[in-house]
Chain A
Amino acid sequence: MRHSIRNSIIKLIISAVMTTIAGVSANQPGQLVTNADLKKEPSTKAKTVSELKRGDSVEILSREGGWYATQADKKSGWVRMLHIRMLGNDASTTSQTTSSVFSAGRGQSAIATGIRGLTEENLKNANADFNELKKLDAWQADSKSAETFARAGKLNSKGAKK
């Protein structure tokens, strides 16, 4: 009994950490679009945990390469991304991630400004604003800072073109 509680807690912690590391929100529902094997590890060579059927619902926990870590009923394992369709949920109409800074502004700017925004209508009536465009210049990075940035992120470039 204690063993399984501890395992559940560990799984919870792992999933919380994984959602941060692997960039997938908790509670992302998905559905199988084809029959697919649920694997113990993200590899076609890994042991098959179970065989999922087209239409089965899963909860997507995290991503690694072309695989999703999923959970359904009591089974967890890895499925190839292309076998899954991500489904909308309540959270998908608002920002899901805990650290998103843009959720606060969602919906408000349209109300506040009334006429601005990138709707078809507004685009068709847009006027060129060169002063606004000029603001871009201050933010741009040069090659050197981009390279430093890449190194810091350990991005394994296949060779920048000159």
Chain B
Amino acid sequence: MKRLRLAYLIVFSISVSLTALVGCKELKGLNVGGYQLDPVVSAGEKLINAQSMSQEAEIDVGTQMAATLVGASALDTQHKQQAYVAKVGKWLSLHSSRSNIPWKFGILQDDDINAFAAPGGYVFITSGMLAILESEAELAGVLAHEITHVTEKHHLKAVQKDNVTGAASDILLAVTDHHLAQTGGQYQGLKQDVAEKLVSASRTLYARGLDRTDEHSADNGAAALLQQAGYDPWAYIAVLQKLDARVNGGGGMALLLKTHPTPETRIKKLSEHKVYQASDTVGATLATRFQSSLQ
């Protein structure tokens, strides 16, 4: 077992260095010492693209995607509400695994009930979603779910493996340090064609949604993050129950329901999380501060 792991490591190291020198395309079908490099190179590509993309590059990618979102729906202009959401978001982000990225939180002026994230730390919640929430802990739950999408790089991975736009793997390849090593240059921002492809990918991705496993993962992350930040994790179950109550309701949920597992499924899966199994889970709800901050 150890020998196999060592062999894998050697081949991986060789392929990474070769790739840096030679470029990915030339390596396809290469045979080194009896090992087929193809699958290793593809695995290497996957690793390099999503995981070792520089923060700078990730922020540029996210900025393109976030700009597409606010292009579809403008930001709410109420300063007090925006500042409040940003404070809750920032407090949560300090407890996340990526507290140092430039998190930005915003309310989208839209009656539909929804929330979105983009790589690099962008988190949005619609005014429609805010309208059905009743406490700061509930708001924190929604934001914590989106924060988890960012910390687990769900959107980056989705763009990488999406083949609908036809240019998926090109996008991140063009942006990553891997490609830079090839060209010998420093990261200097997105090229025009890459930027355009990202906008195109964003449109599809936000309209279609992430993998359902990513959504369940984000729910789990939300519960843990709420507890870390001192909020009552049960408030997030309350949010999902409110969404469940509106499944057959008067509208405003179409896109959310299309892009997520059903609220009922989400509650079922989430309730298995340890914070909900423990009998000593406590935390703040802060309904009064929520009400007064959104006046």
Contacts and interface: CB of A to CB of B under 8 A. Distances in A.
Given A88-B248, A128-B67, A110 B255 contact: no
B171 to A, nearest CB: 15
B232 interface: yes
Q: Which of A107, A140, A162 has the most CB of B within 10 A?
A: A140
Given A118-B110, A140-B104, A129 B227 contact: no
B96 A161 contact: yes
Interface in A145-162: 145-147, 149-150, 153-162
B75 A85 contact: no
Interface string A17-46: 000111111000000000000000000100
B135 interface: yes
A126 interface: yes
Interface stretch (B41-49, B173-181, B277-285): B277-285
Q: How large is the interface on A (under 10, 10 to 19, 20 to 34, 35 or more residues)?
A: 35 or more
Interface in B63-105: 63-64, 66-75, 78-79, 81-83, 85-91, 94-97, 99, 103-105
Q: Which of A89, A101, A147 has the most CB of B within 10 A?
A: A101
B234 A66 contact: yes
Contacts of A93: 246, 249-252
Interface string B252-292: 10110010000010010001000010010111111111111
A137 interface: yes
B119 interface: no
Given A102-B128, A119-B112, A139-B106, A66 B281 contact: yes
Interface of B is mostly: helix
A129 B67 CA distance: 5
Given A105-B127, A153-B136, A21 B230 contact: no
A128 B235 CA distance: 34
B70 A129 contact: yes
Contact of B86 (A123, A141, A156): A141
B111 interface: yes
Contacts of B61: none
A118 B99 contact: no
A141 B90 contact: yes
A156 B227 CA distance: 9
Contacts of B85: 139
A116 interface: yes
Q: Which of B111, B130, B246, B250 has the most CB of A within 10 A?
A: B111
Interface in A1-23: 20-23
A120 B206 CA distance: 8
A20 B290 CA distance: 10
A116 B72 contact: yes
B111 A162 contact: no
B18 interface: no
Nearest to B109: A109
Nearest to A126: B72
Contact of A160 (B95, B232, B246): B95
Nearest to A103: B131
6 contacts: A106-B111, A118-B112, A119-B254, A123-B203, A136-B106, A142-B90
Interface pairs A-B: 10 shortest CB-CB: A93-B250, A23-B287, A23-B135, A155-B230, A128-B67, A126-B72, A23-B134, A102-B131, A86-B245, A129-B71
